[in-house]
Structure 1
């Protein structure tokens, strides 16, 4: 997962409250259940010493976000200034998580967060398209009508004196596709869109993608989720988007696992595993992709400004830094990875790095 989406956490003041819970909306009393869940979450936040104003902000975030479709999880991360992250997860975490600590806890978002927080949905046919932007869980829809008619050749049409009607319908369809492609390009640039999902019958999808500028074609993902004006259900489209997100997530994990295993195997110095090696690589800005496994309750030691981090106070002192705080590794290491622009991957059983933490490196560090 690209870590840019988390960079706002670097400047947010602590302490942080991190909350993860089952936010499914698949029963008739889902809203009442959400109220009960929030009461339990609030009690845990208060027990851990969360500021009352921040707790109130989290409550508004929990209750006011647009309801998910079906089964879902929720992530809310707040700093001392208020809510920083508030989003749905692909599925609930295995258990409810409530933490109040010096640093934010983002591992569940790395594992289950929707990788397309900003996307454009295009439901297209040869007359135009319905466009919906999805930005920070806010939806905005519009319709593009290319104005080209007819797009279907009339049965029994004669060509004498009027030219070939097939050519006219083909040009009308192309005109409409160009209008849709132009608007898609405008929205992509204006809204910083990550992915373009395209829904429609097969020919409409393929014609639109072929009409898009070359720079956008690799961002376009066709979905088999019905056709325009066919009564396609938004929930079906949402499930198709989530399925595509899950597939892409597995592809990212596969790629990271292959790179990590290959570099460890060839002893190239371009992979690190274990708290000591990964802390060393982070200090030198060498981490390209951090691979997060089961870190459990491991801790690291940092200086006052968190400019240096090590597995223990002795190692930190050897680096000329004064130990000032002991932090949970599953909070500190992802945040340091964000600070050096590294990607974050939550691994599964295919790789098991030492101490539950590994990294693919940009270059071989001078120290390990």
Structure 2
């Protein structure tokens, strides 16, 4: 997963306030619970020495996305009286957290985004299609295309055999035209978000025609086309589609992680990958890391030492940075992630049952 979206978090040299909250709205008193969580986080941040200007900025945005149902979380970052970033999380954090550190504590955001894929959801029938394009981590579509072709001749015909045959020919032509337009919409939507998945459901015949159009000219890039249950006809069909999309997304995410982790195992055996904090921090300093891999549990992380001058350089002792007046210390995970973001590396979570030394590994560029 590309980490470039995190770069704005690293602008400036002032301490950064990082907050991760559960903002799920399943309970009837969810708004009150979220308010209490933020109050507890704010109190903790104040005790850690957070500036009131940063807390005031977060007061204005804390609370998640009220319009989104179901489980969710949020991650907020502020520094020098300025909001650096606010992210909706597809899943609530395992526990609320609030930290004041010299750098952002953004691993939770990286892991949440790593579990998501840009995708297109298509519900098609004989009259047209609903095509929605979702960026990675997008709770709402970046674009929505709804096409309803001419319904002329798509009515019950009461005439004889000749009229019936004429009706079916006209209907077949119209279905083909409508699914041709739908295919154009799908290709455009996939390009909008750089889709990794295109998920298609609906009327079996319309789906078959759409399959033919997309087979003849697939969406650009490496988007995988997956056919799922559901449709656009009524609330039940749309609910079935949403459940099928969620299931297909989870399966796709698991496959992609498995591919990376299998590659890691092979590269470690061949000496083209590293594991453990000491080895990985050196590779990050040298700009050799293609992909940083970290497990979510960072409870055993040591402190590392870093520099404002060169964000890639990390040390286990202050002496490693010489007489650098900009040197500071912070837990390993935020510093490793900072080096990866500013060094142009990508990220993948180490999922159980895979284990690496210190819960850290790296695939190397060279």
Match of 2:361 in 1: 358
Q: CA 1:79–1:53 in 2, change beyond 3 Å: closer, same or farther?
A: same
Q: Which moved more, 1:172-181 or 1:118-127?
A: 118-127
In the alignment, what sits opposite 1:168?
A: 170
For 2:340, the equivalent position in structure 1 comes to 337
**Could you tell me whether the CA contact under 8 Å between 1:61 and 1:86 is conserved in 2?**
no
Of the structure 1 ranges 23-32 and 181-190, higher mean CA displacement relative to structure 2 is found in 181-190
- Work out whether 1:214 is the aligned partner of 2:218: yes
- Give the match for residue 73 of structure 2: 73
In 1, Cα distance between equivalents of 2:158 and 2:79: 65
Q: How far apart are the structure 2 equivalents of 1:37 and 1:205?
A: 46
**Aligned residue number for residue 283 of structure 2:** 281
Deviation at 1:209, TM superposition (A): 4.2
CA contact (8 A) 1:120 1:197 kept: yes
Q: CA deviation at 1:128?
A: 0.7
Structure 2 residue matching 1:159: 3-state secondary structure: helix
Q: TM-score, normalised to structure 1's length?
A: 0.83
The residue matched to 2:188 in structure 1 has which SS?
Answer: helix
**Post-superposition CA distance 1:25-66 (Å, at most 9, x none):** 112222222222222222222222223333233233222624
Cα deviation per residue 1:197-232 (whole Å; 9 max; x = unaligned)?
333244433433442442348525546342221323
How many Å apart are 1:71 and its aligned residue? 2.6
Q: 1:42 to 1:229 in 2, by over 3 A?
A: same
Q: 4+ residue runs of structure 1 moved beyond 6 angstroms? A: 320-323
Offset, 1:289: 1.6
Aligned residues: 357
SS in structure 1 of the partner of residue 62 of structure 2: helix
CA distance in 2, matches of 1:236, 1:15: 46
Gaps of 5+ in 1: 364-368
C-alpha distance in structure 2 between counterparts of 1:271 and 1:189, whole Å: 33
The CA RMSD over aligned residues, in Å, is: 3.2
CA-CA distance at 1:328 after TM superposition: 1.7
What are the within-5 Å matches in structure 2 for residues 132-151 of structure 1?
132-134=132-134, 136-139=138-141, 141-147=144-150, 149-150=152-153
Is residue 258 of structure 1 aligned with residue 262 of structure 2? yes
Equivalent of 1:309 in 288, 296, 314: 314
For the Cα contact (< 8 Å) 2:75–2:89, is it kept in 1? yes
In structure 2, the CA distance between the partners of 1:77 and 1:288, relative to structure 1 (3 Å rule), is: same
**Structure 1 counterpart of 2:253:** 249
Deviates more, 1:129-138 or 1:247-256: 129-138
Q: Which of the numbers 218, 225, 228 marks the counterpart of 1:224? A: 228
Alignment of 1:97-176 (within 5 A): 97-113=97-113, 115-116=115-116, 119-134=119-134, 136-139=138-141, 141-147=144-150, 149-150=152-153, 154=157, 158-159=161-162, 164-176=166-178
